[in-house]
Amino acid sequence: MEAIERVKAARAKGRPTGTDFIHKIFTDFTELHGDRRYGDDKAVVSGIARLIDMPVTVIALERGHDTTDKIKRNFGCAHPEGYRKALRQMKLAEKFHRPVVCFIDTSGAYCGKSAEERGQGEAIAENLMEMMTLKTPIISILIGEGGSGGALGLAVADEVWMLENAVYSVISPEGCASILWKDPSKSAEAAECLKLTAGDLLSLRVIERVFKEPGEDFTELYETIRTELYSTIQKNKALPTEQLLDHRYHRFRRIGWDGR
């Protein structure tokens, strides 16, 4: 499949969103709202849930289902308070020794006036720093679109996984095409150049694992993810904290630098 087809699939109407993954994979989900600083960003859904028998913190970027929901969620584009809400949950997870699972699906962090006024750059930057040394296991899964810094703000993890039709990119294909060729309609070529598919990212060693998508019915996929999350988190929980954090640091430290 061509890269642009993956981009279309990742954005497709009806594709399961962050909250679907939360409800299908975990039990006892208890949503916790707000960043305790400014407000409650509904593009980020967060709380505590049970993974089989293990309490975990779950955080999802949620783009919304129907039109009303999408508007409420700002189409999955978080404001700074969304990243700060996520960080608050992660700090709670650290305190109570709960692992963190993040689901990522966003075209990017919100590029609006309000977001700039409240420090979008600072909010993402702080997450990158804090996640790097958060003393509990973190797994991030790209389930749809992984748009640039807005996706990375929840993706500093021990392992990063992707669904077969998810994409992860430094810039949208449309944005890239308008910069490169002054023509956003050349997004198919741009998508190819950007190396944004799960397969590309696996070979660039930016992600650890790709999950095959079984078509429209994700039931089986949810089960697989549940099992894989459980065993990977158990394995990471068993590591001494220093080793876990060292691994996380070097996981990012070597990217783009292997063998150079």
Partner 1 sequence: MLKKSLFKRPKNELETYDSKHTKTASPTVPDEMCSICPSCHATLFTSDLSDNHHVCPKCGHHFRVNARQRISMTADDGTFSEMDADLQSENLIGFPHYDGKLKNARLESAEKEAVVCGTCEIDGFPCALFVMEPYFMVGSMGTVVGEKITRLFEYAAKEGLPVVGFTVSGGARMQEGILSLMQMAKTSGAVKRHSDEGLLYITVLTDPTTGGVTASFAMEGDVIIAEPGALVGFAGPRVIEQTIRQKLPAGFQRAEFLQDKGFVDAVVSRLEQKRYLAKLLSLHAKEAE
Q: Is 2 in the site for partner 1 (CB under 8 A)?
A: no
User: 26 or 168, CB closer to partner 1?
Assistant: 168
The 3-state secondary structure of 91-159 reads HHHHHCCCCEEEEEEECCCCCCHHHHHCCHHHHHHHHHHHHHCCCCCEEEEEEEEEEHHHHHCCCCCCE
Work out the widest C-alpha separation in the chain, in whole angstroms: 52
Q: Is 9 in the site for partner 1 (CB under 8 A)?
A: no
List the one residue from 1, 71, 180, 238 that touches partner 1 (CB under 8 A): 180
User: 56 or 115, CB closer to partner 1?
Assistant: 115
What residues between 231 and 250 interact with partner 1 by CB under 8 A?
248-249
The pair of structure tokens assigned to 207 is 């992600």
Q: Is 94 in the site for partner 1 (CB under 8 A)?
A: no
Opening angle at CA 227, ends 139 and 238, nearest 5: 60
Q: Is 132 in the site for partner 1 (CB under 8 A)?
A: yes
Shortest distance (Å) from residue 184 CB to partner 1:
11
CA pair distance 158, 233, nearest whole angstrom: 10
168-189: b (≥16 Cβ within 10 Å) or e: bbebbbbbbbbeeeeeeebbeb
Shortest distance (Å) from residue 151 CB to partner 1:
8
List the one residue from 3, 124, 141, 162 that touches partner 1 (CB under 8 A): 124
- Residues in contact with partner 1 by the rule CB under 8 A: 109-113, 115-122, 124-126, 128-130, 132-133, 148-149, 152-153, 155-156, 168-171, 176, 179-180, 193-196, 200-201, 204, 206, 248-249, 252-253, 255-257, 260
